[in-house]
Structure 1
Amino acid sequence: MSLQDEPLVPAEGYAETAYRADAIPEQSYAPQNDMLRGRVLETRLPWGSYLWINPTTNQYSESWFQEYLYIGDDYHDYTMINESRWSQRVDEDVYVLYRFVRFIFVIFSHLFSFVGGGGWFIFGVMAVCTILFIFAADSLLQAFAPLAIVTAICGTATLLRQLWEKYSIKFYKGNRNWSNDYAFCRRTGMVKTDIGDFPFYEFDTYIEMRVGTQGSQFHSLKLIHRYPHRSRLPHSKSSLEFDFTVGGSIAQLYAAWDMLQRYMDVSQPLPDIPQVEPFRHLDPTTKAYDEAGKRGRPATYWRDLYANSSTEELKTLREAHRAEVDSTIWGGRPDLMELSVPNYRETRKGEPEDVNDFGRFPWKAGTFVDRPEATPSADSTDQQPNDEHPR
Structure 2
Amino acid sequence: MASYYCSYAYRPDSIPEQSNQTQELNRTGLDRSASLRLPWGNTREVMPPTFMSRNPPRKLRRLEKKEDLSEKYGLHVESNHECFRHAPLALQARLVSIISVTGALWAYIVSPGYLITLILMSPLFTSISRNYSEYIQSLGLFEFIMLGGGWILILMAKLALRLFPKWLLRNGRGPEWEFNRRTGMIKVWQYPKKFPFLPRKPPVVVEKPFYEFDAWCCARVDRFGTLFDLVLSHRYSKLDVTVGDILGAHGSPTMCYAYWDFIQNYMDITRPLPELPMLEQYRHLDPTTAKHDQATGRPARYWRDMDDKTFKQKVDDMFTDVSIIDTTRRPDLMAEKLSYAS
Tell me the TM-score normalised to structure 2 length. Answer: 0.71
Give the corresponding residue for 2:68. 74
Give the corresponding residue for 2:18. 27
The alpha-carbon distance between structure 1 residues 331 and 266, as it changes in their structure 2 partners (threshold 3 A), is same
CA contact (8 A) 2:49 2:315 kept: yes
Name which of 124, 145, 164 aligns with 1:153: 145
In 2, Cα distance between the equivalents of 1:161 and 1:209? 34
The alpha-carbon distance between structure 1 residues 285 and 63, as it changes in their structure 2 partners (threshold 3 A), is closer
Give the corresponding residue for 2:324. 327
Within 5 Å, give how 1:132-151 maps onto structure 2.
Answer: 148-151=140-143
Name which of 202, 215, 235 aligns with 1:226: 235
Deviations 1:316-342 (A, max 9, x none): 33223322332344443221212333x
The alpha-carbon distance between structure 1 residues 220 and 26, as it changes in their structure 2 partners (threshold 3 A), is same
The alpha-carbon distance between structure 1 residues 240 and 228, as it changes in their structure 2 partners (threshold 3 A), is farther
In 2, Cα distance between the equivalents of 1:100 and 1:242? 18
Note the C-alpha offset of 1:91: 3.6
Give the corresponding residue for 2:213. 203
Give the corresponding residue for 1:287. 290
Give the corresponding residue for 1:271. 274
The alpha-carbon distance between structure 1 residues 315 and 177, as it changes in their structure 2 partners (threshold 3 A), is farther
Q: What code does the residue aligned with 2:208 have?
A: F
- Percent of residue pairs bearing the same amino acid type: 30
In 2, Cα distance between the equivalents of 1:172 and 1:205? 39
Within 5 Å, give how 1:8-47 maps onto structure 2.
Answer: 11-30=2-21, 31-33=23-25, 36-39=28-31, 41-47=34-40
Note the C-alpha offset of 1:82: 0.9
Q: What code does the residue aligned with 1:326 have?
A: S
Identify the structure with bigger relative contact order (alpha carbons < 8 Å, sequence gap 6+).
2
RMSD: 4.0
In 2, Cα distance between the equivalents of 1:165 and 1:102? 6
SS in 2 for 1:115: helix
In 1, Cα distance between the equivalents of 2:273 and 2:171? 22
In 2, Cα distance between the equivalents of 1:42 and 1:80? 29
Name which of 333, 337, 344 aligns with 2:334: 337
Bigger Cα displacement from structure 2, 116-125 vs 201-210: 116-125
Within 5 Å, give how 1:380-391 maps onto structure 2.
Answer: none
The alpha-carbon distance between structure 1 residues 166 and 47, as it changes in their structure 2 partners (threshold 3 A), is same
The alpha-carbon distance between structure 1 residues 297 and 172, as it changes in their structure 2 partners (threshold 3 A), is farther
Note the C-alpha offset of 1:158: 2.7
Number of corresponding residues: 301
The alpha-carbon distance between structure 1 residues 263 and 103, as it changes in their structure 2 partners (threshold 3 A), is closer
Deviations 1:88-142 (A, max 9, x none): 22344xxx5x45863784487457x3433468559969x99xxxxxxxxxxx9xx
Note the C-alpha offset of 1:44: 1.4
Give unpaired runs (5+ residues) of structure 2: 122-133, 190-203
In 2, Cα distance between the equivalents of 1:219 and 1:84? 28
Q: What code does the residue aligned with 2:50 have?
A: T
Q: What code does the residue aligned with 1:340 have?
A: K
Note the C-alpha offset of 1:185: 0.9
Tell me the TM-score normalised to structure 1 length. Answer: 0.63
The alpha-carbon distance between structure 1 residues 248 and 280, as it changes in their structure 2 partners (threshold 3 A), is farther
SS in 2 for 1:27: coil
SS in 2 for 1:53: coil
In 2, Cα distance between the equivalents of 1:75 and 1:100? 16
Give unpaired runs (5+ residues) of structure 1: 1-9, 129-139, 232-238, 348-391
In 1, Cα distance between the equivalents of 2:233 and 2:317? 32
